[in-house]
C-alpha cells in the first residue's frame, strides 16, 4: 500500500463560476486559476500522484501550457489516475477535507465524492469529501479563498 497527501488553495475572485469537486456551486465569487481552479480536484490529483511517486500536478499539467487553460480539473484527475495505473497501481481509497468559510459546502459533498470516485475508478463509498469552516480565522476565515487537504491510498493492480 502507498499513501499520498495533497494540498491546494485558491483565491476567490468575482466573475468566475465556483467549481469544487467538479460541481458548479452557486456563489457570489469563483476561484482564480489557470484551469477551472477546482481546488478539490487539484489537491486530490497531488495526493494520487504523490502516492505513486509520480511528482505533482504542476509537473504533469503545467500552467504554462495552453493545453490546460480553463481545463476541466476532473479530466486532470482522470489523467493522474492513468499515470498511477501505468505504474502498476490503482487508487484504493481517498479522503478530502475542503475548508471554506462560505458558501456552505456540506450539501455538495456527496456529489463531489461521486464525481471524484468516477474519475479514480473507485466505488462511490471509497471516496470521502468533508466540508469545514476555519472558525473565522485567517485568510479562509476572512473569505479570501479556500484550502483543501486530500489523502489517497494506492494498491497494486
Ligand atoms: Mg490548484
Question: How much distance in Å is there from the Cα of 57 to the middle of ligand 1?
Answer: 8
Question: How much distance in Å is there from the Cα of 143 to the middle of ligand 1?
Answer: 17
- Per-position DSSP letters for 57-108, written without gaps between them: HHHHS-TTSGGGTT--HHHHHHHHHHHHHHTTEEEEEEEEEEE-SSS--GGG
Question: How much distance in Å is there from the Cα of 23 to the middle of ligand 1?
Answer: 15
pLDDT at residue 79 is higher than 90: yes
- Per-position DSSP letters for 16-69, written without gaps between them: S-EEETTEEE--S-EE--SS---HHHHHHHHHHHHHTT---HHHHS-TTSGGGT
pLDDT at residue 130 is higher than 90: yes
The Cα 54–Cα 38 span in angstroms is 21
Question: How much distance in Å is there from the Cα of 8 to the middle of ligand 1?
Answer: 5
pLDDT digits (tens, 9 = 90+) for 87-128: 999 999 999 999 999 999 999 999 999 999 999 999 989 999
pTM of the model: 0.97
Residue appearing with cell numbers 509520480: 54
Q: What is the pLDDT of residue 70?
A: 84
Question: How much distance in Å is there from the Cα of 92 to the middle of ligand 1?
Answer: 23
Question: How much distance in Å is there from the Cα of 74 to the middle of ligand 1?
Answer: 12
Domains assigned to the chain: 2-156 (3.30.1330.50)
The Cα 45–Cα 55 span in angstroms is 10
Name the band, by pLDDT with cuts 50, 70 and 90, for residue 3.
very high
Amino acid at each position: 500500500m502507498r499513501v499520498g497527501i495533497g494540498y491546494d488553495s485558491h483565491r476567490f475572485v468575482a466573475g468566475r463560476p465556483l467549481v469544487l469537486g467538479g460541481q458548479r456551486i452557486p456563489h457570489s465569487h469563483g476561484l482564480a486559476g489557470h484551469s477551472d481552479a477546482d481546488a478539490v480536484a487539484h489537491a486530490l490529483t497531488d495526493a494520487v500522484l504523490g502516492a505513486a511517486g509520480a511528482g505533482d500536478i504542476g509537473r504533469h499539467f503545467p500552467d504554462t501550457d495552453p493545453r490546460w487553460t480553463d481545463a476541466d480539473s476532473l479530466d486532470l484527475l482522470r489523467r493522474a489516475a492513468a499515470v498511477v495505473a501505468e505504474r502498476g497501481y490503482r487508487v484504493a481509497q481517498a479522503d478530502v477535507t475542503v475548508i471554506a468559510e462560505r458558501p456552505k459546502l456540506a450539501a455538495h459533498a456527496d456529489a463531489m465524492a461521486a464525481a471524484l470516485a468516477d474519475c479514480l475508478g473507485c466505488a462511490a463509498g471509497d471516496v470521502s469529501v468533508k466540508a469545514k469552516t476555519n472558525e473565522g480565522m485567517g485568510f479562509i476565515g476572512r473569505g479570501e479563498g479556500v484550502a483543501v487537504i486530500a489523502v489517497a491510498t494506492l494498491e497494486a493492480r
